[in-house]
C-alpha cells in the first residue's frame, strides 16, 4: 500500500477489515478462502451489522486489494452479495446566524480553525495539515496540498482572518524556536522529501500552521517530532460550541464546509467556481448544495405562502 502511495488512513482501514475477515473465518489463511467467504462476510455486514453502503464498499475494496495485489488471486465475480442500501441525503447546512453563534462559543486556535473551515471551505484535516508556506497573504490564497484524491488546489484566504493568522504564525514561530533550542524542531515531510532535503524538516516554511501542544516520538523511525493539532481536539471543541449555542442541528466541523458552499451559491456565485474551491472532481457533487438553497430565482415557495395572505391561520 505504501509502494502504491495510498494514504495511511486507508492503510489502517484496509488492515482492519482484513483482520476482521480472517477472524470471522476462524483465523484460516485467506488463501484457503475465496469468493463464497467474501460474499458471506460482506452480506453479514449489511444484514447483521446493518452498516452503511460506504462501509460495506470499503470492506469490499480492502478484500479485493488483499486478493489481487497481495495474494495475486483473482476472485470470480461476486454476484451473491446483499448490498447495504445507499441512502440519498442532503447535507446539513447552518444559517449565517447559526455559524456566528457557534464561532462566538469558540476561542483561540479552535475559533481560528473553525473560522477557516467556514471561510475557505477546507476539510478539517486539510486545514490542520497546512504548512507555513501554504499561506499566501499577498494573493489572499491558501494552497491545499494532497487533498482528497491526492489533489492540490487553491482556495481563498479570508481577509477578516489575516490578523488572526499572522498572530498564529507568530505563536507557531515561538514554539518552533523553543524546539530548535532544545535540539528538536523537525516535522514530518511528504513523500521522500526528508531523504532528498535532510534539513528541510527543521525549516520554518515546512512547519505546521497549527502545531500540536506536545512533541511525540514517531512510531515509524523513533524520531521526536511535533505533529499538527489533532483533529479530535477541534471536533470536541466544535461539539461543545454547538451545544453552547443551543443549536439543534447535528452540526460538525464538516458542516461548516457545507455551509460555505451553500452560502456562496445563495450569494449568486457560479457553481463552477464553488466546485474549484471545494476541490470536487465532478460538478454533480457540488450540485447537491443546490438542493438546500432557499434563495435565488429558482426558489420554490409554498402555495400556502403564495395565496393565503395569512387568512387561513
| Assigned C-alpha cell, 134 | 501554504
Under the phi-then-psi rule, with left for phi > 0, alpha for psi from -120 to 50, and beta for the rest, what region is 143? beta
The answer to whether residue 123 is catalytic is: yes
Which of the following is catalytic: 110, 123, 129, 228? 123
Closest alpha carbon to 38 in 95, 92, 87, 82:
82
Locus of grid cell 511535533: 226
The number of CA neighbours under 13 Å toward the Cβ of 5 is 7
| Assigned C-alpha cell, 250 | 447535528
The answer to whether residue 148 is catalytic is: yes
Which of the following is catalytic: 129, 225, 258, 280? 280
The answer to whether residue 197 is catalytic is: no
Which of the following is catalytic: 176, 225, 257, 263? 257
Alpha-carbon distance of 180 to 162, in angstroms, equals: 27
| Assigned C-alpha cell, 264 | 456562496
The answer to whether residue 145 is catalytic is: no
Q: Are strands 141-144 and 153-156 parallel, antiparallel or unpaired?
A: antiparallel
Residue 6: partners with Cβ closer than 8 Å, 6 or more residues away = none
Which of the following is catalytic: 145, 148, 153, 202? 148
Q: Which residues are catalytic?
A: 123, 148, 254, 257, 280, 289
Amino acid at each position: 500500500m505504501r509502494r502504491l502511495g495510498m494514504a495511511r488512513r486507508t492503510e489502517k482501514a484496509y488492515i482492519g477489515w482484513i483482520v476482521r475477515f480472517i477472524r470471522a473465518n476462524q483465523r484460516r489463511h485467506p488463501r484457503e478462502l475465496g469468493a463464497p467467504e467474501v460474499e458471506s462476510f460482506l452480506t453479514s455486514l449489511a444484514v447483521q451489522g446493518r452498516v452503511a453502503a460506504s462501509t460495506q464498499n470499503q470492506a469490499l475494496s480492502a478484500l479485493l486489494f488483499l486478493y489481487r495485489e497481495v495474494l495475486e488471486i483473482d476472485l470470480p465475480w461476486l454476484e451473491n452479495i446483499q448490498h447495504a442500501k445507499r441512502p440519498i441525503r442532503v447535507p446539513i447546512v447552518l444559517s449565517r446566524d447559526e455559524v456566528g453563534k457557534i464561532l462566538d462559543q469558540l476561542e483561540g486556535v479552535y475559533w481560528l480553525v473553525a473560522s477557516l473551515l467556514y471561510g475557505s471551505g477546507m476539510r478539517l484535516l486539510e486545514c490542520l495539515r497546512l504548512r507555513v508556506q501554504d499561506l499566501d497573504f499577498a494573493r489572499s490564497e491558501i494552497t491545499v496540498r494532497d487533498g482528497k484524491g491526492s489533489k492540490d488546489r487553491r482556495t481563498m484566504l479570508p481577509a477578516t482572518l489575516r490578523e488572526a493568522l499572522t498572530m498564529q504564525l507568530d505563536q507557531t514561530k515561538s514554539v518552533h524556536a523553543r524546539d530548535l533550542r532544545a535540539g528538536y524542531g523537525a516535522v514530518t515531510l511528504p513523500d521522500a522529501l526528508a531523504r532528498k532535503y535532510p534539513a528541510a524538516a527543521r525549516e520554518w516554511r515546512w512547519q505546521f500552521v497549527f502545531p500540536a501542544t506536545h512533541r511525540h516520538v514517531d512510531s515509524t523511525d523513533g524520531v521526536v517530532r511535533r505533529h499538527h493539532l489533532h483533529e479530535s481536539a477541534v471536533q470536541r471543541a466544535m461539539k461543545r460550541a454547538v451545544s453552547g449555542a443551543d443549536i439543534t442541528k447535528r452540526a460538525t466541523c464538516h458542516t461548516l464546509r457545507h455551509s460555505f458552499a451553500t452560502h456562496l451559491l445563495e450569494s449568486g456565485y457560479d457553481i463552477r467556481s464553488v466546485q474549484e474551491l471545494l476541490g470536487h472532481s465532478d460538478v454533480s457533487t457540488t450540485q447537491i448544495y443546490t438542493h438546500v438553497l432557499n434563495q435565488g430565482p429558482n426558489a420554490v415557495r409554498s402555495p400556502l405562502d403564495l395565496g393565503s395572505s395569512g387568512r387561513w391561520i
